Structure 1
Amino acid sequence: MGIDQLITPNTFGFIAAALTTIAFIPQVIKTWKSKKADDVSIVMLLMFITGLLFWIIYAIETNAFPVLIANIITFTLNVTILILKLIYGKRPTTAG
């Protein structure tokens, strides 16, 4: 098996998928630990999640497996961030 058999378009797709998906993990961890999501834009999240849904549909229709897996995971991470934002955004602030 030569290097040309290992480096296929799907190889690049999986690498791109891994990097762009992993990029959201620090935000999930930060939001979870700090229990604050003030710095996360709800409009951006909603637009991004909608875009991810379209990527998922595209990937299903074109049988683009790396795109499908990456966007399902990224969708899950971003919905988690959205849920945390909604939960932590409802907390009353204390004057002091």
Structure 2
Amino acid sequence: MSDLVANIVGTAAALCSITSFAPQMIKIWKERDASNVSLKTYSLTVTCFVLWTVYGVMTTAWPIIVANACALVMAAAVLGMKWRFRDGEPD
């Protein structure tokens, strides 16, 4: 497989991972309600992105590092809003 094709696939995967959190973040922020967000699921998701980012660092795979670090920030933001706006009540 050519490097160009692999990079295109990797870029598409990274963009999908990163942007998949945007609608949830926007909805929670606008409504100030995260009662429908699963704390366990997002905790696992954040852990997953931490591990993928560490793996990328260990293997010096910069596309994996960047993509997963960006997704980590967005998933962590959702998790943070879950704590802040729990049960629809802002702090």
Q: Give your verdict on TM over 0.5.
A: yes
Larger gyration radius, structure 1 or structure 2: 1
In structure 2, what is the equivalent of residue 56 of structure 1?
Answer: 53
Which of 3, 12, 15 is the aligned partner of 2:12? 15
SS at match of 2:36: coil
What's the offset of the Cα at 1:62?
Answer: 1.5
- Gap regions ≥5 residues in structure 2: none
Residue identity matched to 1:10: N
1:44 and 2:41 correspond = yes
Question: Does 2:77 match 1:72?
Answer: no
Counterpart AA for 1:50: T
Q: What is the deviation of 1:11?
A: 2.2
Partner of 2:27: 30
Q: How many residues align?
A: 88
Q: CA deviation at 1:83?
A: 1.1
Moved more, 22-31 or 82-91: 82-91
Query: Percent identity at matched positions?
Result: 28
Greater fraction of residues in helix: 2
Aligned counterparts of 1:16 and 1:65: Cα–Cα separation in 2: 14
Give the TM-score, by structure 1 length. 0.82
Deviations 1:12-49 (A, max 9, x none): 11111011211111110000001101110000011111
TM-score normalized with structure 2 length:
0.86
Give the gaps of 5 or more residues in structure 1: none
**Matches of 1:9 and 1:61, distance apart in 2:** 20
What do the CA deviations read for 1:30-71 (whole angstroms, capped 9, x no partner)? Answer: 000011011100000111111111100111111222211111
SS, match of residue 31 in structure 1 = helix
For the residue of structure 1 that corresponds to 2:85, the secondary structure is helix
Give the letter aligned to residue 61 of structure 1. Answer: M
